[in-house]
Structure 1
Amino acid sequence: MVRLISDSELTASDVVANRTMNRERGLSGVNSYARELGFDPAAWLREHGGTGPAWLDLCSGEGRALTEAARLLPAGAELTGVDLVGPLGSVLGRPPGAGVQLVTAALADWAPERSYHLITCVHGLHYLGDQLGAIARAASWLTPDGRFAAHFDPESVRRPDGTGLARAVVAALRAAGFEYRSRRHLLLLDGGRPVELPFDYAGADPSAGPNWTGQPAVGSYYGVRERAAGAPAG
C-alpha cells in the first residue's frame, strides 16, 4: 500500500526540493521553452498580447526565459515566475530584467492578482502533488483569449488503490476543452475558463520513481466522483 503524503509534506521531500530540470532553461535554442513547447512564447505574446502582454511561468526556476522574453516584448509587458525554491541566481547579484517578477512560493498556496495571456509550466507539474488542481486553477487565471501550456504525464495520476487513471483523466480534460498532445506530453488550453474535474485529490507519492523524462517524479492520487457530465468514470 502506497503511503500518501500531503502537499505541505511534499514540498520538503528530496524529489521536489532538489529538482533541477528547469532551472537554467532559456527562451530559445537547444535547451529552451520554444523547443519544449513547440512554439516561441515571446513570439506568441507579440501576436496575442497587445501592448501589455502578460506571461505567468509556473515552476520557473531561475526565470531565465522570462528575462530573455522581456527584452523582446513591449515596455508594458508583465512577466511573472513562481517557483518553490526561487531564483538562486539573484543571491549572486543577478536581478531579473525589467518587467519581470520572480516569486518564491509553493504553487498550492499562491494565486495571482491579475489574469495572463500566457501561462506555462515546463516540466513542472511532475513535482506537484495536486496536478489536476493546479491545471484547473491555471485555466481560471487566463484571459479570455489566453493560452495555457504545460507538460503533463497522465500515467502519474492514479487512484488511491494504485490503479491507473490516465485514460479517465485525459478524457475529462478533453471534455473541459483541453488538448493533449501525447507525443510531446503537452497539455494545451486556449481561452480562460472555470474548470471542474471529477476527481478529488487524495495525496502524493514522492517515491513514484522516474517518469518518461528519466527524472524522479511525483505520483498524484485521486478519488473519482460518480459520473459527471462529459467525464467518463474510466
Structure 2
Amino acid sequence: MRKQRALVTAVDLERSSVVANNTMNRERGLTGVNSYARELGVDLLAHLADRPAPSWLDLCSGEGRALREAASALPADAVLTAVDLVGPLAPGPTPPTLEEIIASVSTWTPTRTYDLITCVHGLHYIGDQLGLLTRAASWLSEDGLLTAHFDPDSIRRPDGTPAGRAAITALRASGFRYSPRHHRVTLHGPRSITLPFTYVGADPDAGPNYTGQPAVGSYYT
C-alpha cells in the first residue's frame, strides 16, 4: 500500500521553495532560441494579426519579455495582459498596451476574453492545474487559442497512483488536444468545461519533471 503524501494548500504551495524560486519562464522572449515561438510551436503574432484590438493573456508571465516585444509589433489598440505571482523582478517602462498584474493565477479572473492565452511551463508550479485549464477555457474569444505546457505525470490520485491518462482522456473529451511529444495542451474557441476530478491538494516535493526541474504534484479524487 502506498504511503499518502502530505499535501499542502494553494497558499502554502505558493510559499514553498519550488514555487518561490522558480525561474523557468522569466527570461523568454517572443522569438528566437529561448522563446515562446519555439516552446509553443506557434507564430503568435500571426495568430493575432488582422484582428480588431488583438488580445493576449499570458499566465505565469515572468519578466513579461514576450509581451513587451509583441507590444511593439501590434496595433495601439491591442490588449496585452501579463499575470505572474511575483511579476517582473527588474521592472522597466511598460508599453501602454501592456498590463502587468501581480496575482496568483489560481484565483485571478479576467474581466474580458482573449484571442490568445498562453502558459509556458507555468502549470508545473500550479496546484490545481486542471482547474486552471478549465477556467481559462472560458476566457477565450470566439476563435481564440489556448496553449500551455502540461505534464500528465504530475496528476495523481490521493494514494499516489497515476491519474494522468484519465486526465488526458477527460481533457480530450472536452475539446482539448494534447501532444505527448511536446507536452502541450491546446484548445480552440471558448468552452464551459467540467472535468470529473476534484482537487485535494499539492505536493511541492514531487521532484523533477520532464524538464529536469523540480515541479509540483497535483492530487485529485
Please give the range of the TM-score, normalised by the shorter of the 2 chains.
over 0.9
Distance (whole Å) between structure 2 residues aligned to residue 151 and residue 76 of structure 1:
29
Distance (whole Å) between structure 1 residues aligned to residue 65 and residue 95 of structure 2:
9
The superposition leaves residues 117-161 of structure 1 with CA deviations (integer Å, 9 ceiling, x where unpaired) of 000000000000000000000000001110100000000000000
* 2:100 aligned to which of 99, 102, 105: 102
Report what 2:82 is aligned to. Answer: 81
Contact kept? 1:27, 1:40, Cα under 8 Å: no
Report what 1:64 is aligned to. Answer: 65
Report what 2:186 is aligned to. Answer: 188
5+ unaligned residues in a row in structure 1: which ranges?
224-234
5+ unaligned residues in a row in structure 2: which ranges?
none
Distance (whole Å) between structure 2 residues aligned to residue 152 and residue 60 of structure 1:
16
Report what 1:230 is aligned to. Answer: none
Distance (whole Å) between structure 1 residues aligned to residue 134 and residue 164 of structure 2:
17
TM-score, normalised to structure 1, is 0.92
Distance (whole Å) between structure 1 residues aligned to residue 106 and residue 167 of structure 2:
20
What SS does the aligned partner of 1:170 have?
Answer: helix
Report what 2:209 is aligned to. Answer: 211
Distance (whole Å) between structure 1 residues aligned to residue 83 and residue 58 of structure 2:
6
Letter in 2 for 1:145: D
Report what 2:173 is aligned to. Answer: 175
**1:30 is the counterpart of 2:53:** no
Distance (whole Å) between structure 1 residues aligned to residue 52 and residue 134 of structure 2:
27
What pairs with 1:67-146 in structure 2 (closer than 5 Å)? 67-90=68-91, 94-146=92-144
What pairs with 1:8-23 in structure 2 (closer than 5 Å)? 8-23=11-26
The alignment's C-alpha RMSD in Å is 0.7
Write out the 4+ residue segments of structure 1 that deviate beyond 4 Å after TM superposition: none
| Offset at residue 51 of structure 1 (A) | 2.1
Distance (whole Å) between structure 1 residues aligned to residue 142 and residue 191 of structure 2:
7
Contact kept? 1:204, 1:220, Cα under 8 Å: yes
* 1:164 aligned to which of 143, 162, 165: 162
Letter in 2 for 1:158: R
